Chains A and B, each alone.
Chain A
Amino acid sequence: MKAIIIGCGRTGSSVARHLHDAAWEVVVVDEDEEALSNLGARWPGRFIVGHGLDIDVLVESGAESADAVVVSTDGDNTNIVIGLIAQRRFHVERVVVRVLDPARAAFFAERGLHTVCPTSIAIGALTEAALVSETVSTEGASI
Chain B
Amino acid sequence: MYVLIAGGGKVGANVTRSLLRQNHEVTIIEQRSERFHVLEEEFDYRVQRGDATELHVLERAGIGRPPDLVLAVTGDDEDNIVICEIAQKRYLAPKVIARVNDPRNQTHFDLLGVAPTVCATSSIMALIEHEVPESDIIRLLQLRDDELEIVEVPIGADSPSSGKRIEQLKMPDGTRVISVAREGRSEIATGSTKLAPGDRVLAILQPGCEAELRRVLLKH
Contact = CB atoms under 8 A, between A and B. Distances in A.
Interface stretch (A10-18, A101-109, A126-134): A101-109
A5 B115 CA distance: 30
B98 to A, nearest CB: 12
A76 B104 contact: no
Interface string A63-105: 0000000000001111011001100110000000000010110
Contacts of A76: 53, 82
B112 A104 contact: no
Interface string B64-97: 0000000000001111011001100110000000
Interface string B167-195: 00000000000000000000000000000
B78 A88 contact: no
A55 interface: yes
B111 A77 contact: no
A89 B109 CA distance: 12
A88 B109 CA distance: 12
B111 A85 contact: yes
A34 interface: no
Interface residues of B, number: 20
Contacts of B89: 111
B107 A81 contact: no
Contacts of B112: 81, 84-85, 88
A35 interface: no
A75 B55 contact: no
B56 A103 contact: yes
A111 to B, nearest CB: 6
Given A55-B107, A111-B89, A77 B79 contact: yes
Given A53-B78, A75-B78, A77-B76, A107 B111 contact: no
15 contacts: A53-B78, A55-B107, A76-B82, A77-B53, A77-B78, A80-B82, A81-B78, A81-B81, A81-B108, A81-B112, A85-B112, A88-B111, A103-B56, A104-B53, A104-B86
Interface of A: 53-55, 75-78, 80-81, 84-85, 88-89, 101, 103-104, 107-108, 111
- List the 9 shortest-distance A-B pairs measured between CB atoms, nearest first: A77-B78, A103-B55, A77-B82, A81-B78, A78-B78, A77-B79, A81-B81, A77-B53, A89-B111
Interface of B: 53-56, 76-79, 81-82, 85-86, 89-90, 104-105, 107-108, 111-112
